Amino acid sequence: MIDFQKEALQIQDEITANRRTIHHFAETAFDLPQTVDFVMKKLQEYGLEPKRVGKAGVSCLIGKPAGKTILLRADMDALPMAEETGLAFAAENGNCHSCGHDCHTAMLLGAAKILKAHEEELQGSVKLMFQPAEEKLAGALDMIANGILENPRVDAAMGLHITVGGGDTCKPGVLSYRSGDASYSGDCIRITVKGKNAHGSTPQLGVDAISAAAHIILALQEIPAREISMESKDVVLVGMIQGGSSCNTVSGECVMEASVRSDSREGRAFLKKRVKEIAQSIAQAYRAEAEVEYVYGMPGLYCDPQVTKTLSGYLEEMNGKDKVVQMYDMSGTEDFTMVAEQVPSAFFMLGVGSAAEGYHCGAHHPAMILDENALPVGTAAYCCAAIRFLEENAKA
């Protein structure tokens, strides 16, 4: 049996260097010219033939056309926030890889190099998916629309994400997973409240959109407080509001955006329905109107129980049972969901630093740092899951 842990450690310096290069680029959404160019060149350097998929995705195949195909996915985009780590390789362009996508890309590049070296031993195909715009919940859908799951058709998929700043599952090198419903849904709902402009000296001639919006916000907070079971962790959060042009006028328009998260498909549908009902009825009560627009959204990630059981079993053999455990709630939203909606999939988290070890800043914090020594475990996990899945399915 191939010792992927050993082989990943042998290229640890390269994995780390690749991560730091991508980290310094810190490009966002679909606008990833330097990142895509770097990934393409590295894959070519490893003897592969990468191709562009969709707006900014990259893919390539390793292995033989006969047999099953497993997809390994890594996301590449950063967040539009200024970095505060003080690292020598910190991004200086106002963006920040504070969700670890630089690590995911570097780990999958490492896996590409190792799997290419073992290509003759693969009993099927490994398809690599380097995805843009995960933070916009748009990149996976774009790559799917442009054929990432076809030619050859993908039979199973694996995603991997780092986790830092929490408890035991964040300890460096620990892999964690969930079977079935694994994450929360995430939706962005824009509410545009329309009133009527007026001067502050004659408020009776106007309809105050800001006042109506304020009452809508307060009413939305009552949904999780009064309409949802106390056992639920569903969230309704108004994270953005804009309105008015001066302090002495009644604003005729106010725009806000709400984030809605639920741990069930039924809960998601209920929250979306109630946000619209409340916004429109409250606006009407204050003589205004409310337009409700669903900007984007994603159901919760569902991990196929059989694929999850199979791949986690392989990783237990590789990493040890004490370092492959079931994760706690994954309250974030994950764009890998769109792959998992089409293909039986498993999703793993890799610990890269717990709070007890001094890593206090979690994902999406501009000062997040991590233990890079854990990254070879992710590379080895990609390799082990892929080659074992193809071996076992060749026997079936």
Let me know the angle formed at the C-alpha of 186 by 185 and 191, rounded to the nearest 5 degrees: 135
In this structure, the answer to whether residues 173 and 319 fall within a common structural domain is yes
Token output for 17 = 């260097």
Q: Which of 251, 270, 298 is the last residue of a domain?
A: 298
Q: What is the residue type of 229?
A: S
| Mean pLDDT, residues 39-59 taken together | 98
Q: What percent of the chain stands above pLDDT 70?
A: 99
Q: What is the pTM of this model?
A: 0.89
Whole-number Å distance between alpha carbons of 109 and 130: 9
In this structure, the answer to whether residues 140 and 82 fall within a common structural domain is yes
Nearest in space to 213 (alpha carbons), one of 183, 176, 246, 257: 257
pLDDT digits (tens, 9 = 90+) for 81-91: 999 999 999 99
In this structure, the answer to whether residues 157 and 70 fall within a common structural domain is yes
What integer pLDDT is reported at residue 97 of this predicted model?
98
First to last CA, the chain: 19
What integer pLDDT is reported at residue 142 of this predicted model?
98
Helix axes 101-117, 33-45, angle to 10 degrees: 20
Place 231 in a pLDDT band, splitting at 50, 70 and 90. confident
Q: Which of 243, 266, 298 is the last residue of a domain?
A: 298
Whole-number Å distance between alpha carbons of 16 and 371: 10
Q: Is the confidence at residue 13, as pLDDT, over 90?
A: yes
Number of folded domains that form the chain: 2
In this structure, the answer to whether residues 351 and 219 fall within a common structural domain is no
In this structure, the answer to whether residues 318 and 286 fall within a common structural domain is no
What integer pLDDT is reported at residue 330 of this predicted model?
76
Please give the biggest Cα pair distance in the chain: 81
Place 222 in a pLDDT band, splitting at 50, 70 and 90. very high
Nearest in space to 161 (alpha carbons), one of 354, 318, 332: 332
In this structure, the answer to whether residues 218 and 317 fall within a common structural domain is no
pLDDT digits (tens, 9 = 90+) for 108-159: 999 999 999 999 999 999 999 999 999 998 999 999 999 999 999 999 999 9
State the CB neighbour count (10 A cutoff) for residue 264: 15
Cα Rg of the chain, angstroms: 23
Place 263 in a pLDDT band, splitting at 50, 70 and 90. confident
Let me know the angle formed at the C-alpha of 215 by 246 and 289, rounded to the nearest 5 degrees: 75
In this structure, the answer to whether residues 194 and 244 fall within a common structural domain is yes
Q: What percent of the chain stands above pLDDT 90?
A: 92
Looking at the DSSP bridge assignments, the partners of residue 158 are 72, 346
| Cβ neighbours of residue 211 closer than 8 Å, sequence gap 6 or more | 286
Q: Is the confidence at residue 329, as pLDDT, over 90?
A: no
In this structure, the answer to whether residues 171 and 201 fall within a common structural domain is no
In this structure, the answer to whether residues 144 and 270 fall within a common structural domain is no
Domain that holds residue 12: 4-182+300-395
Q: What is the CATH number of the domain that holds 192?
A: 3.30.70.360
What integer pLDDT is reported at residue 395 of this predicted model?
67
- DSSP letter for 335, please: T
Q: Is the confidence at residue 289, as pLDDT, over 90?
A: yes
In this structure, the answer to whether residues 203 and 59 fall within a common structural domain is no
In this structure, the answer to whether residues 275 and 307 fall within a common structural domain is no
Q: Which of 298, 321, 344 is the last residue of a domain?
A: 298
Q: What is the residue type of 282?
A: I
In this structure, the answer to whether residues 16 and 143 fall within a common structural domain is yes
